[in-house]
């Protein structure tokens, strides 16, 4: 395995991780505000669908290189709209958050495919679009390994890395972040101090829709080029795992998502190693999931979820 | 008579029924927007389910694994846990049933079938129990472990089938001689694949009810689910209850796997991706308000809708995905009962007020 392959492996890892990081960041916003979001899978589906359809019509209209960005914009809007279902049910009507998250998954799986069939005359998937192209950063992309690995990526990857840092600052260094976390830890105390609990939670859930939508969009615009029933197959649940693994911290979730992305990427490269020839591929596929459990058992231990996670806020309750 | 009135007056019964009706209405509106005829579509759906003895039997076949996985998710819920891993537990149950059925071929049927079924239940139980163990001993969130275990189960099952039970040149195991099929019903259901798993699922629901509400152990389990701190303070062993609850939940899921392999297919396929039984189980458990008898009713509804949805696409040209919108809306209205109450207010709460005065 030479340096060039190592660079390519790093590059593929980032391609797979990007969608997971977006969705995990979304999950952090929602859960830090105290709302469980099991609906990330569905929100990614909404985003992937909107990006494929929006991107297709933009490309059709001759927007060229701007078309994928239109897709991203559509994904954000549809993601937010989808998350509003969750917000209305769980925050306003105090429904069980797990249940309304599951509802998102169902509605997304049903409505996106229904609309694809409506829009494209019964076809099972949306038409293939060009999507994003990789951008080389001049100078930096000449560094061995890292140049090929990091500085020759899709725009979405650069965007998500910036977002991780920005969201870390928002959550831990701004009054808004403090309020959001307070609402998730101890809503009645936050309420006493004049924080509007419901509004903060609405913002948290809508941001999760926006980010998970971008995560779904990333998959259609960089990997598949179309939207079909299996475009998002379990990625949202992996993102939830990354969020918990990363202890509801943007940087931690970033690390966990890169780990899961690496495990998807390694499949394409594993045949290049001498020692791996004799290991059945099923066991190689299993490694990341087994490792996650081992890491959780040995190092991370008790995960520290936001205290009020899963509880609808009821001002009359003590 | 008074008692009967009381049963129908409780909103536990009224809200789900209204939610189902509202879910169908949402589906109808979505069809109208798409330019389809909702009445033709729904009648095609029901015609598909009740149209012929074969289809009716196949619809029952569709409901059976949903009953099991619904019970699995609901049981964990009642004990305060979220088992997203029913999918993996079904797969492990299937694999155990395949191993025992195929490797012990030649054993008399009256021994082989129970052995394979027990193996499936035990394997599913241990698989889920492991997640319970990690939660009890190390405090690891069961959501993340069960998601990880789903993937591990998928690859482990495929490895076992591929290397030990493969039918040469095919993407599946050799035929499994242990059969749970109810062959004596073949003439009644026109050779639909009905099997003993359905009966077993009903028994499991009764067990669920009796165990949780009529025994001391079940009382402890519900107490742990309701408030683990209070349960611990009262001297209950929270960790042991967590492991036990996950084990029983996994047994239900494992039995679903036995039914699919021994009753329906009589072999096990190599799956490219998760077959999804567990995720449907979450929906069924929630539709059934996590009560065992509710879960059975929910599985019947869910199975009917999914099986019938194929008829919708043949009969009225409506994409079968529509049914997921209907199911999602039903769960939404059940979860957000506030909306249903608001719709019912003019008819329903007036009556209650009269009673008070």
Helices A155-173 and A250-269 meet at what angle, rounded to 10?
Answer: 150
Residue B8: per-residue pLDDT: 46
Residue B353 has pLDDT above 60, yes or no: no
- Cβ-nearest to A100 among B321, B327, B335: B335
Flag the least confident range among A79-83, A194-198, B344-348. B344-348
Å between B338 CA and nearest CA of chain A: 6
Token digits of residue B108? 């008399």
- Partner A contacted by B227 (CB < 8 A): no
Percent of chain A with pLDDT over 90: 40
Residue B232 has pLDDT above 50, yes or no: yes
Q: Degrees (nearest 5) of the Cα angle A233, A234, A239?
A: 130
- Cβ-nearest to B327 among A95, A106, A290: A106
Match 């791996």 to its residue by tokens: A276
Tell me which residues of chain B, numbers 130 to 189, contact chain A at a CB-CB cutoff of 8 Å. 134, 138-141, 143-145, 147-149, 151-152, 155-156, 158-159, 162-163
Per-residue HEC secondary structure of chain A comes to CCHHHHHHHHHHHHHHHHHHHHHHHHHHHHHHCCCCCCCHHHHHHHHHHHHHHHHHHHHHCCCHHHHHHHHHHHHHHHHHHHHHHHHHHHHHCCCCHHHHHHHHHHHHHHHHHHHHHHHCCCCCCCCCCCCCCCEECCCHHHCCCHHHHCCEECHHHHHHHHHHHHHHHHHHHCHHHHHHHHHHHCHHHHHHCCCCHHHHHHHHHHHHHHHHHHHHHHHHHHHHCCCCCCCCCCHHHHHHHHHHHCCCCHHHHHHHHHHHHHHHHHHHHHHHCCHHHHCCHHHHHHHHHHHHHHHHHHHHCCCCCCCCCCCCCCCCCC
Mean pLDDT (whole number) for B181-196: 80
Predicted-complex ipTM score: 0.82
pLDDT confidence band for B7 (50 / 70 / 90): very low
Q: What is the dihedral of CA B25, B30, B33, B39, to 10 degrees?
A: -50
* Bridge partners (DSSP) listed for residue A152: A136
Match 């939610």 to its residue by tokens: B19
Flag the least confident range among A74-83, B98-107, B329-338. B329-338
Residue A4 has pLDDT above 90, yes or no: no
pLDDT confidence band for B244 (50 / 70 / 90): very high
Domain range summary for chain A, segments of one domain joined by +: 18-128+148-299
Residues of B in contact with A305 (CB under 8 A): 141
The Cα–Cα gap between B128 and B125 comes to: 5
* Bridge partners (DSSP) listed for residue B195: B181
Average pLDDT taken over every residue of chain B: 86
Question: Do the Cβ atoms of B310 and B320 come closer than 8 Å?
Answer: yes
Segment A280-292, tens digit of pLDDT: 878 888 887 888 8
Residue A303 has pLDDT above 80, yes or no: no
Question: Do the Cβ atoms of B299 and B288 come closer than 8 Å?
Answer: yes
Mean pLDDT (whole number) for B64-75: 95
Mean pLDDT (whole number) for B285-304: 91
Whether residues B328 and A286 touch (CB distance < 8 A) is answered with no
Percent of chain A with pLDDT over 70: 94
Flag the least confident range among A220-229, A307-316, B78-87. A307-316
Answer with the residue of higher pLDDT: A149 or B117: B117
Question: Do the Cβ atoms of A29 and A221 come closer than 8 Å?
Answer: no
Mean pLDDT (whole number) for B219-232: 86
Mutate to test the interface with A, among B70, B133, B141, B287 (most CBs of A within 10 A): B141
Å between A4 CA and nearest CA of chain B: 30
Mean pLDDT (whole number) for A49-53: 94
Residue A297: per-residue pLDDT: 82
Question: Do the Cβ atoms of A89 and A106 come closer than 8 Å?
Answer: no
* Bridge partners (DSSP) listed for residue A135: A153
Whether residues B145 and A296 touch (CB distance < 8 A) is answered with yes
Mean pLDDT (whole number) for B313-326: 83
Residue B337: per-residue pLDDT: 75
Residue A225: per-residue pLDDT: 85
Flag the least confident range among A223-232, B157-166, B346-355. B346-355
pLDDT confidence band for A272 (50 / 70 / 90): low
pLDDT confidence band for B93 (50 / 70 / 90): very high
pLDDT confidence band for B54 (50 / 70 / 90): confident
Question: Do the Cβ atoms of A8 and A146 come closer than 8 Å?
Answer: no
Whether residues A237 and B152 touch (CB distance < 8 A) is answered with no
Residue A5: per-residue pLDDT: 79
Whether residues A238 and B319 touch (CB distance < 8 A) is answered with no
Residue A1: per-residue pLDDT: 60
Å between A155 CA and nearest CA of chain B: 30
Residue A318: per-residue pLDDT: 54
Residue A17: per-residue pLDDT: 92
Segment A148-189, tens digit of pLDDT: 777 778 889 999 999 999 999 999 999 999 999 999 988 888
Question: Do the Cβ atoms of B242 and B81 come closer than 8 Å?
Answer: yes
Residues of B in contact with A85 (CB under 8 A): 332
Segment A239-259, tens digit of pLDDT: 998 998 888 999 999 999 998
Token digits of residue A299? 């190092």
Percent of chain B with pLDDT over 90: 36
Per-residue HEC secondary structure of chain B comes to CHHHHHHHHCHHHHHHHHHHHHHHHHHHHHHHHCCCCHHHHHHHHHHHHHCCHHHHHHHHHHHHHHHHHHHHHHHHHHCCCCCCCHHHHHHHHHHHHHHHHHHCECECHHHHHHHHHHHHHHHHHHHHHHHHHHHHHHCCCHHHHHHHHHHHHHHHHHHHHHHHCECCCCCEECCCCCCCECHHHHHHHCCCCCECHHHHHHHHHHHHHHHHHHCHHHHHHHHHHHCHHHHHHCCCCHHHHHHHHHHHHHHHHHHHHHHHHHHHHCCCECCCCCCCHHHHHHHHHHHCCCCHHHHHHHHHHHHHHHHHHHHHHHHCCCCCCHHHHHHHHHHHHHHCHHHHHHHHHHHHHHHHHHHHC
Answer with the residue of higher pLDDT: B194 or A271: B194
Whether residues B155 and A285 touch (CB distance < 8 A) is answered with yes
The Cα–Cα gap between B155 and A267 comes to: 13
Residue B245 has pLDDT above 80, yes or no: yes
Whether residues B155 and A94 touch (CB distance < 8 A) is answered with no
Å between B346 CA and nearest CA of chain A: 19
Answer with the residue of higher pLDDT: B349 or A144: A144
Mean pLDDT (whole number) for A124-143: 80
Residue B284: per-residue pLDDT: 92
Answer with the residue of higher pLDDT: A41 or B143: A41
Closest CA to B71 of B329, B245, B220: B245
Average pLDDT taken over every residue of chain A: 86
pLDDT confidence band for A207 (50 / 70 / 90): very high
The Cα–Cα gap between B326 and B311 comes to: 15
Closest CA to B194 of B347, B4, B55, B45: B55
Mutate to test the interface with A, among B149, B161, B323, B335 (most CBs of A within 10 A): B335
Residue B349: per-residue pLDDT: 53
- Partner A contacted by B314 (CB < 8 A): no
Helices B11-33 and B322-335 meet at what angle, rounded to 10?
Answer: 150
Residue B220 has pLDDT above 80, yes or no: yes
CB pairs under 8 A between A and B: 142
pLDDT confidence band for A77 (50 / 70 / 90): very high
Whether residues B155 and A85 touch (CB distance < 8 A) is answered with no
The Cα–Cα gap between A156 and A223 comes to: 12
Question: Do the Cβ atoms of A216 and A46 come closer than 8 Å?
Answer: yes
Residues of B in contact with A302 (CB under 8 A): 138-140
- Partner A contacted by B335 (CB < 8 A): yes
Phi, psi at A126, each rounded to 5°: -75, 155
Residue B66 has pLDDT above 90, yes or no: yes
- Cβ-nearest to A95 among B30, B279, B336: B336
Whether residues B145 and A289 touch (CB distance < 8 A) is answered with no
Å between B139 CA and nearest CA of chain A: 5
Residues of A in contact with B81 (CB under 8 A): none
pLDDT confidence band for B231 (50 / 70 / 90): confident
Residues of A in contact with B336 (CB under 8 A): 88-89, 93, 95, 100
Mean pLDDT (whole number) for B113-141: 92
């Amino acid at each position: 395995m030479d340096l060039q392959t190592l660079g390519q492996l790093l590059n593929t890892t980032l391609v797979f991780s990007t969608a997971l990081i977006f969705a995990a960041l979304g999950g952090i916003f929602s859960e830090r505000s105290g709302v469980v979001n099991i609906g990330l899978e569905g929100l990614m589906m909404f985003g992937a669908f909107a990006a494929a359809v929006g991107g297709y019509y933009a490309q059709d209209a001759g927007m060229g290189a701007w078309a994928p960005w239109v897709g991203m914009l559509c994904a954000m809007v549809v993601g937010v709209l989808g998350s509003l279902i969750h917000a209305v049910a769980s925050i306003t009507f105090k429904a069980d958050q797990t249940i309304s998250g599951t509802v998102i998954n169902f509605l997304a799986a049903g409505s996106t495919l229904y609309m694809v069939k409506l829009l494209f005359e019964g076809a099972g998937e949306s038409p293939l679009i060009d999507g994003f192209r990789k951008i080389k950063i001049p100078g930096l992309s000449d560094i061995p390994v890292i140049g090929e690995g990091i500085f020759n990526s899709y725009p979405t990857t650069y965007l998500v890395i910036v977002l991780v840092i920005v969201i870390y600052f928002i959550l831990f260094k701004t009054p808004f972040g403090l309020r959001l976390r307070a609402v998730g830890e101890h809503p009645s105390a936050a309420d006493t101090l004049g924080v509007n609990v419901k509004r903060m939670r609405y913002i948290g859930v809508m941001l999760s829709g926006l980010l998970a939508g971008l995560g779904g969009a990333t998959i259609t615009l960089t990997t598949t080029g179309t939207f079909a029933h299996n475009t998002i197959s379990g990625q949202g649940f992996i993102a939830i795992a990354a969020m918990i693994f990363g202890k509801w911290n943007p940087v931690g979730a970033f690390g966990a998502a890169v780990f899961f992305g690496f495990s998807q990427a390694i499949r394409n490269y594993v045949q290049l190693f001498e020692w791996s020839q004799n290991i059945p591929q099923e066991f190689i596929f299993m490694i990341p999931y087994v490792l996650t459990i081992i890491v959780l058992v040995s190092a991370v231990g008790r995960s520290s979820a936001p205290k009020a996670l899963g509880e609808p806020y009821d001002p009359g309750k003590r | 008579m008074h008692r009967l009135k009381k049963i129908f007056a409780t909103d536990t019964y009224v809200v789900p029924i209204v939610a189902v009706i509202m879910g169908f209405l949402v589906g109808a509106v979505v069809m109208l927007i798409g330019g389809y005829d909702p009445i033709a579509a729904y009648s095609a759906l029901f015609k598909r389910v009740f149209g012929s003895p074969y289809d009716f039997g196949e619809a029952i076949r569709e409901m059976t694994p949903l009953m099991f996985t619904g019970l699995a998710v609901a049981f964990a819920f009642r004990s305060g846990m979220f088992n997203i891993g029913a999918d993996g537990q079904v797969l492990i149950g299937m694999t155990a049933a395949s191993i025992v059925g195929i490797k012990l071929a030649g054993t008399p049927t009256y021994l082989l079938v129970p052995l394979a079924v027990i193996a499936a239940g035990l394997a599913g139980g241990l698989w889920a129990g492991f997640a319970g163990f990690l939660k009890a001993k190390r405090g690891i969130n069961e959501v993340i472990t069960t998601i990880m275990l789903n993937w591990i189960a998928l690859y482990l099952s495929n490895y076992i089938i591929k290397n030990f039970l493969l039918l040469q040149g095919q993407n599946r195991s050799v035929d499994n001689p242990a059969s749970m099929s109810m062959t004596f019903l073949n003439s009644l259901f026109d050779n639909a694949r009905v099997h003993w798993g359905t009966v077993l699922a009903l028994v499991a629901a009764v067990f669920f009810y009796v165990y949780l509400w009529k025994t001391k152990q079940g009382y402890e389990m519900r107490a742990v689910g309701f408030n683990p701190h209070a349960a611990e303070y009262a001297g209950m062993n929270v960790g042991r209850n967590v492991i036990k609850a996950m084990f029983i939940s996994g047994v239900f899921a494992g039995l679903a796997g036995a039914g699919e392999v021994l009753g329906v297919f009589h072999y096990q396929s190599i799956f490219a991706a998760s077959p999804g039984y567990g995720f449907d189980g979450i929906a069924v458990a929630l539709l059934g308000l996590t009560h065992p008898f509710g879960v059975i009713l929910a599985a019947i509804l869910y199975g009917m809708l999914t099986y019938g949805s194929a008829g919708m696409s043949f009969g009225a040209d409506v994409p079968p995905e529509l049914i997921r919108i209907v199911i999602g809306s039903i769960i939404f209205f059940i979860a957000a009962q506030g909306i249903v109450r608001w719709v019912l207010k003019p008819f329903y709460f007036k009556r209650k007020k009269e009673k008070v005065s």
